Structure 1
Amino acid sequence: MKKLVLKVLLFVAFSYSSISVGTPLQAIPLTDVRITDGPFLHAQQTNLSYLLAMDPERLLAPYRREANLPVNTESYPNWENTGLDGHIGGHYLTALSLMYASTGDKEVLARLNYMVAELAKCQQQHGNGYLGAVPDGTRIWKEIAAGNIQADLFTLNQSWVPWYNLHKVFSGLRDAYLYTDNQQAKTMLIEFSDWMLALSNKLNDQQLQTMLRTEYGGLNETLADVYQITGEQKYLTLARRYTDMSLLTPLLAQQDKLNGLHANTQIPKIVGVARIASLANDHSWLASADYFWQQVVTKRSVSIGGNSVREHFHPSEDFSSMVKDVEGPETCNTYNMLKLSKLLYQQKGELNYLDYYERALFNHILSSQHPVHGGLVYFTPMRPNHYRMYSAVSEGMWCCVGSGIENHSKYGEMIYSAGDNQFYINLFIDSQVNWAAKNIRFSQTTAFPDSDSSKIVIHDSGKFALNIRYPAWVNHNIELSVNGKPVAISARPGQYITLDREWQAGDEINVRVPMQTTLEQLPDQSNYYSILHGPIVLAAKTLPFANETLNFIADSSRMGHIAQGPLCDLTEAPLFISDGDSFLQHIKRTDSEKLRFSTTDASMNQSAPLELIPFFRLHDSRYTLYFPQVNGKDWQAQKQQLQLVAQREKALAENTLDVIAPGQQQPEADHFFEGQNSEAGINGRRHWRHAHDWFSYRLNTKGETNPVLRLTYFGLDKDRRFDILIDNKLLTSVSLSGDKGATFYSVDYPIPSHLLPTDSHYLRITFKAHKDSIAGGLYGIRLLKH
């Protein structure tokens, strides 16, 4: 059975047998591709409805507010009025641009043009090229221009990732120009770039790198695009300056220093590195971007193509947190990994990037949209028997809503590519395409992945080489015919099949890509398996708890995107009791028209067989897509251990009112972190935060009148003295002696009722250092019931 597992795990290597086509390629523009049927057309149309349901006036409100223009309606709630005001408005520009390019919808274009025109008024009001909705932005940028820079993981001069925020509207203007030829957007984009240039020229490289400690999105990528648009070298120079060298330097040396880093802070930076490399013909930067891609895709990604736990890169040799935590792969990460894959493919022409792109597109991106109401997913838990939360169009304003409305607007972008006299068919998606350079049209008709065949029709005559991807996951020989005549194939899986000839209008190519049901083990070789059919990840709907009614649509609270319902005892989640991976032989297809399978006759801890379906079709339910496997002789002992862990886990969860992971970006942002002279870092695999002055968070007591504060420390931290304050009233003073050894330990501090607010369930907890000392470090903060 070992042979099978190793074969299946070729996905983790993403078909390194792929060969380069030798020359840079270009994806066929969205304007020349139309999705014509299938799940991607449905997702595109669902997203169109979602986009049109959003209110431009509410998206524009924070921009008008910051420009001191009349505001005629309230901003959207959630992240849009709690510090990241305006970021969705920037994403909206891009999503509208992509949707118009993909569909030609006139209402979408009219809405885009209106948004650009109204934002132009805001930019003109500022008078210096600036355009943003960052709260109190005038103060922040004035301080930064003066060299007064206070940078942390996600705060810059007490503002929540302001450069990340600006990057969204910056990119939106670029896309409005590139995809719809909006000349006003181009003018605004250049004026905005010049504002950035003027501000940055006041800072030396060290000051600018200090500023880049704070998440800044893909500013370097957009600046590089401005260089390409204008041809002015100053923008490419600025793009290089806006590249975080603390991340890039080890990558240039082929060193993996990613453990513990906030994943989606890093990925856009490397997208920018790859973009700069492509424009500057910088081979070392391109190699570093490729090295990053390899470390993320082959060592830190799960079967659906996603990565990260609680938004951070976990150690490549330990995926335990991936199957235990409910904050699994973040959709934004995969959105950006697809951008990076596209850039690397276009530069190198290697098909391993397409293998990943296909896997992530079908299994993570497509699954992240609700097929009825269009709600978008932030975290996709890998924990067995958990579930996902979806956004409501007027309430959820997370980062993954912004990237999500872009994701489902651009499904045509990598189906086809071209170079010189070569045309490439990369993905099996029902569509039509116009190869404008040769004035040749194609159509592809397919029911993939329910069917393993596709028909390609060439509608115009011409001599060229047609290249059809031979997927690495094809486990039997691919079948191909031209006008009904079989074609002998010398290519191997992971390569292109090349048909170079004089083509006539009406020529028909039929291709069959046989799919096989396989297993994929977690990359750390722990006994968790994902089940696939071809590149499609299968999952099982699992039963809710007794008397449980789950809500799958998030409210507007800051942590509404997290599925915070009860955790399933892992002994009750579906698992296979077998000798190694022998359970695969018991998984049978039950429907010849749709992908449906059953675990009939497999030895499991379930009373009835499970139905397995493509994960992208599974919604509004608990689910399992990574199945534990245990040997029969070990099952009872493992079951007892798992039950003990589950009991402790359940008891802690039931007793927890609120919890914060110090030093981790989104948990801190969701708890309204503030601080002065504060730092965060990683000790082994644990994140921490401390301060030479102070730092604070907001916690929810949920009405508990005698809560207990539990803090986790590191045993070697010594000579650290600080006060713990509740709403500026002293709870206690702490002195860390450093005499507990290299271990983590927790201390409980009961909070008396007289320190609790009387008019709110929220309190602010502050850690304030004594003179010449340090507050913290804190490795965990948990508010418990009495």
Structure 2
Amino acid sequence: MNALRIITLLLLSVPALAQMQPFSLQEVKLTGGPFKNAQDVDLKYILALNPDKLLAPYLIDAGLPLKAPRYGNWESSGLDGHIGGHYLSALAMMYASTGNAELKKRLDYMVDQLARCQAKNGNGYVGGIPQGKVFWDRIHKGDIDGSSFGLNNTWVPLYNIHKLFAGLRDAYDYAGNKQAKQVLVGLGDWFVELIKPLSDEQIQQVLRTEHGGINETFADLYILTKDKKYLETAQRISHWAILNPLIDKQDKLTGLHANTQIPKVIGFEKIATLTGKTDWSEAAQYFWQNVSQTRSVAFGGNSVREHFNPTTDFSQVIQSNQGPETCNSFNMLRLSKALFLDKNDVSYLDFYERSLYNHILSSQHPEKGGFVYFTPIRPNHYRVYSQPETSMWCCVGSGLENHTKYGELIYSHSDNDLFVNLFIPSTVNWTAKQMKLTQRTEFPYQNESELVVEIAKPQAFSVQIRYPKWAENFDVLVNGKAQSVTGKPASYVAIHRTWKRGDKITVRFKTSTQLEYLPDGSNWAAFVNGPIVLAAKTSTEDIAGLFADDSRMGHETKGKLYPITNAYALVGDPATYLSGLKPVDKLRFSLDSLTLQPFYEVHDARYQMYFQTFSKAAFNEQKARLKQQEAEAVALDANTVDKVNCGEQQPEVDHDYKGEKSDSGYDDEQFWRRTRSFITYQLQNKNRTGKYIDVRALDTIKPDQVRFLINDQPAEILSTDEKRLRLKADGNEVITLKIVAQDGKNSPRFNQIRLITQ
């Protein structure tokens, strides 16, 4: 690989700022509706968390006394400190959005405590990573053994510390905390020195492990300080293995851990705006187009079991209880925002709006609070919500942030024009123009919005209102007088005049319900009205674990999978699929015994979002075939006590993977892991009902070439069948399976390990 192709340390001329500019969160206030409710609910969750508990991992690493014990769950099992970084961002953005004084007090306190830790460490470092000083010293010396989520058997340490980088940046950017900038610069200088001895190849080896958007935060450090070393570092820690194919417009994403890639691309785009690297920006656009148009489901989310599925086959997404991950959409919105502001292209807003209403808004319980990790599209399944004292998942961290910044793109501006991008009840204060715009709307329940101008003195400029792609018509009135609309869908309608106090703009449009099929061309479709995805509550039975406990896998549903063949299907001619839908109330529709409503309203229940479509002739044949497949899958699931999908990031983390000289991959649409030394997994044998361990590989398993140990004792092999092998479980509640390669040769590519009852 040609490193010179990627890294150019001489800075190119910085292009002029994009015409489109965001308003600050302080300038935009929500005034009502579901987004304001979500903001208020998130505020309660933020205040329910204890800053001293979140700071504990940092104090432990710095050798300072604790004021409270650290949280459990992911915060005490290897990802210690990651929520603390997210919490800084959430405090800063929620303070900017609301002005709540308690948020600022907590933010200032946390930054001050982090500064104490940094001073105690004495070298600019501050972090909560377990045994952090030992870990980083090994990296500094070039001792690197990395995989997709483990670096020297440490759980995503760069991803972890990136959250602190981003939190400190946000504390300064959104809340004006100058001490945060000082800590951030010190941490950045420490990192620059840390990687200075490493070759480009060694850095790329480190970057094989999930590292968040750490390249973006170094670009931000350059923006804050104008010190070129940070921008040079940002380019140096950009991942070639992802960037190069994107530059060449090659889709190499299938099988990759989805949320690992999206933050990297946000970094590519930011670096491009600072260096003039148009190929990096085009790479980001290509990635966005690929993910948003060919890898995303109707509500905007993507991935199955956290990985990108083949664009030609969404069957696993339909079948899995681990559907799109909320963190993915959190980052896709950040990428969409960056590209919109850079390119002034309204199409980025169409995807942003779809994801905002249907994934982000739906990912928080609207009354009790709590954030969703996986949103399955499997018919008749459900979601799990976090709780403040029990749940410390990645999607809790991004969830804390998601509902603090709804005001970020409702409006934007150029030097002279005001742009109305989203129909959300709110106000915007355009300080430079000494004017305020108030938007009153009940959208999406009413297809109208009213904009009222308050201005110190008459001024001439344009108010540009987004004409959404989904709007079937678009009428604009100023002070009750109809205006000529020359725009078209997915553009802006410009209203230029000399505005005076009290001027009123009324916008009206029509929407209709359409069927939107999965991108793979299969017969699964969702009902979408305008930008709003509709779904039906189907049952409140067997929703075990609805509000998560503190178990390692509390973010996953515990209730059984209902057969897909029992789900409601649309049968007939394609022209009739929509005819069964009958309006009941605002965004309520009956479909036989089902009631469809906005998905973001569906909570505390199993639901159906996607529906199979059949001709009458195909329905019975297809149903019989699927029924047999489903029966086999459901029976296997009922017989399974625990399982590990080898090579998949979260299942391996959940099962305490450890290993040496091991690598993983994705071949023939299956994940795998192999080793030249050893790998271990920890299986949970609930109620000691598991009797056997089935090991499956993509290659022939030869017992004389690989050894199996259960709880450090040689395992009894009960049967072998080329690529499958059965071991006798030992009856303990926790079973550690160790696989040891013989003679330093590669083991088979192990695909799945399953603890079963019979």
Instruction: Report the TM-score range of the alignment, normalised by the length of the smaller protein.
Output: over 0.9
User: What is aligned with 1:401?
Assistant: 396
* Corresponding position of 1:619: 603
Instruction: Please tell me whether residue 442 in structure 1 is matched to residue 420 in structure 2.
Output: no
Question: 1: distance between equivalents of 2:237 and 2:558?
Answer: 37
Aligned CA-pair RMSD = 1.6
Mapping of residues 471-486 of structure 1, within 5 Å:
471-475=468-472, 477-486=473-482
Read off the aligned partner of 1:452 and give its amino acid letter: N
2:589 to 585, 597, 610: 597
Which residue of structure 2 aligns with residue 492 of structure 1?
A: 488
Report 1:188-199 matches (<5 A). Answer: 188-199=183-194
- 567, 570, 578: which is aligned to 2:561? 567
Distance 2:355 2:708 in 1: 45
Q: 2:725 aligns with which of 747, 755, 761?
A: 747
When residues 652 and 733 of structure 1 are mapped into structure 2, their CA distance, relative to the original with a 3 A threshold, is closer
Match of 1:515 in 2: 511
Q: Is the 8 A contact 1:723 1:733 kept in 2?
A: no
Counterpart among 646, 668, 682 of residue 662 in structure 1: 646
Query: Deviation per CA, 1:156-179, whole angstroms, max 9, x where unpaired?
Result: 111000010001111100000001
CA displacement 1:453-501 (0-9 Å, x = unmatched): 00001101311111100000012x2111001100011111011001122
Aligned counterpart, 1:305: 300
Instruction: Tell me what 1:3 maps to.
Output: none
- Matches of 1:228 and 1:32 in 2, distance apart? 22
Residue by residue over 1:655-683, the C-alpha shift from the partner in whole angstroms, topping out at 9 and shown as x without a partner, is 10101110010100011110011100111
1:639 positional shift:
2.1
Question: Which of 583, 600, 606 is equivalent to 2:577?
Answer: 583
- When structure 1 is superposed on structure 2, of 763-772 and 188-197 the one drifting more is 763-772
- Partner of 1:95 in structure 2? 90
Q: CA deviation at 1:718?
A: 7.8
For residue 505 of structure 1, the aligned residue among 501, 508, 511 is 501
Q: 2:754 is paired with a residue of what secondary structure?
A: strand
1:722/1:489 CA distance change after superposition, 3 Å: same
Give 1:140's aligned amino acid.
Answer: F
For residues 336 and 19 of structure 2, what CA distance do their matches in structure 1 show?
14
Tell me, what secondary structure is at the counterpart of 2:574?
Answer: coil
- Say yes or no: does 1:226 pair with 2:210: no
Match of 1:315 in 2: 310
Contact 1:539/1:623, CA 8 A, preserved across alignment: yes
Quote the sequence identity (%): 46
SS in 2 for 1:775: coil
Matched, 1:683 2:667: yes
Q: 1:420 to 1:667 in 2, by over 3 A?
A: same
Give the unaligned 5+ runs of structure 2.
1-16
Which deviates more from structure 2 when the two are superposed, residues 209-218 or residues 560-569? 560-569
2-side partners of 1:718 and 1:314: how far apart? 31
SS at match of 1:772: coil
Seen in structure 2, the aligned counterparts of structure 1 residues 537 and 768 have a Cα distance that, compared at 3 Å, is same
- What is the distance in 2 between the residues matched to 1:657 and 1:499? 63
Quote the residue 1:467 is aligned against: 464
- Alpha-carbon distance in structure 2 between the residues aligned to 1:368 and 1:706: 34
Distance 1:720 1:277, change over 3 A: farther
Map Cα deviations across residues 124-159 of structure 1 (whole Å, 9 max, x no partner). Answer: 111111110000101100000011111111111110
Deviations 1:712-757 (A, max 9, x none): 11246889811011111111579999xx6xxxx4332223x4xx44
Q: Output the CA distance in 2 between the equivalents of 1:783 and 1:706.
A: 6
Matched residue, 1:784: 756
Distance 2:638 2:703 in 1: 35
- Equivalent residue number for residue 33 of structure 1: 28
Counterparts of 1:282 and 1:501, CA distance in 2? 39
Task: Tell me the residue number matched to 2:150.
Answer: 155
Deviations 1:50-86 (A, max 9, x none): 0001111111111111110001322111100000001
Structure-2 residue corresponding to 1:338: 333
Q: Could you tell me which amino acid in structure 1 is paired with residue 555 of structure 2?
A: H
Q: Which runs of 5+ in 1 are unaligned?
A: 1-21, 601-608
Contact persistence 2:698–2:748 (CA under 8 A): no
Whole-angstrom CA distance in 2 between matches of 1:244 and 1:735: 43
Residues in 1 aligned to 2:89 and 2:117: alpha-carbon distance in whole angstroms: 18
Deviations 1:71-110 (A, max 9, x none): 1322111100000001001000000000001011111111
Q: In the aligned structure 1, how far is the partner of 2:657 from the partner of 2:575?
A: 46
- Three-state SS of the structure 2 residue aligned to 1:315 is coil
Matches of 2:660 and 2:698, distance apart in 1: 22
How much has 1:620 moved relative to structure 2? Answer: 0.4
1:531 is aligned, of 527, 534, 539, to 527
Whole-Å separation in 2 of the counterparts to 1:25 and 1:253 = 28
**1:525, CA displacement in angstroms?**
1.2
Is the aligned partner of 1:84 residue 2:79? yes
Aligned residue runs from structure 1 range 640-719, under 5 A = 640-704=624-688, 707-715=691-699
What amino acid is the match of 1:437?
Answer: A
TM-score, length-scaled by structure 2: 0.96
Which deviates further from its counterpart, 693-702 or 580-589? Answer: 580-589
Q: Greater shift after overlay, 626-635 or 337-346?
A: 626-635
User: What is the CA distance between 1:123 and its match in structure 2?
Assistant: 1.0
**Secondary structure in 1 matching 2:688:** coil
> Kindly tell me: are residues 163 and 715 of structure 1, through their superposed partners in 2, closer, same or farther at Cα, counting changes over 3 Å?
closer
- Distance in 2, Cα, partners of 1:398 & 1:88: 8
CA deviation after TM superposition for structure 1 residue 650, in Å: 1.6
Residues 689-733 of structure 1: per-residue CA shift (max 9 Å, x gap): 000000101001113366111111124688981101111111157
For residue 327 of structure 1, the aligned residue among 313, 322, 326 is 322
Contact 2:719 2:727 in 1 (8 A): no
In the alignment, which residue of structure 2 is the partner of 1:763? 735
Q: Is contact 1:90–1:172 with CA below 8 Å preserved after alignment? A: yes
> Which residue pairs with 1:8 in the alignment?
none
Are 2:618 and 1:634 equivalent residues in the alignment?
yes
In 2, Cα distance between equivalents of 1:40 and 1:28 = 18
2:78 alignment partner AA: G
Contact 1:720 1:776 in 2 (8 A): no
Contact 1:720–1:736 (CA<8 Å) still a contact in 2? no
1:420 and 1:549 map into 2 onto residues whose CA distance is 52
Secondary structure (helix, strand or coil) at the match of 2:715 reads: strand
Task: Show the counterpart of 1:274.
Answer: 269
For residue 468 of structure 1, give the secondary structure of its aligned residue in structure 2.
strand
Task: Name the amino acid aligned to 2:728.
Answer: P
The one-letter code of the counterpart of 2:672 is W
Change (3 A) 1:690 1:444: same
Q: Hey, what's the Cα distance between the residues in 1 that align with 2:720 and 2:237? A: 39
Letter matched to residue 589 of structure 1 = P
Q: How does 1:50-89 map to 2 (within 5 A)?
A: 50-89=45-84
Note if contact 1:694-1:775 (Cα within 8 Å) is conserved in structure 2: no
Pairing partner for 2:537 from 526, 536, 541:
541
Q: Is the 8 A contact 2:534 2:609 kept in 1?
A: yes
Query: Which letter maps to 2:754?
Result: R
Aligned AA (2:590): S
Contact 1:721–1:735 at 8 Å: present in 2 too?
Answer: no
Give the deviation of 1:544 after TM superposition: 4.3
The answer (yes or no) to whether the contact 2:545–2:557 under 8 Å persists in 1 is no
Residue of structure 1 in register with 2:745 after alignment = 773
> 1:358 offset after TM fit, Å?
0.2
* 1:284-299 map, 5 Å: 284-299=279-294
Tell me: CA distance 1:683–1:583, structure 2 relative to 1, closer, same or farther (3 Å).
Answer: same
Distance in 2 of aligned mates of 1:328 and 1:702: 25
Partners of 1:300 and 1:523 within 8 A in 2:
yes
Alpha-carbon distance in structure 1 between the residues aligned to 2:687 and 2:449: 59
For the residue of structure 2 that corresponds to 1:385, the secondary structure is: coil
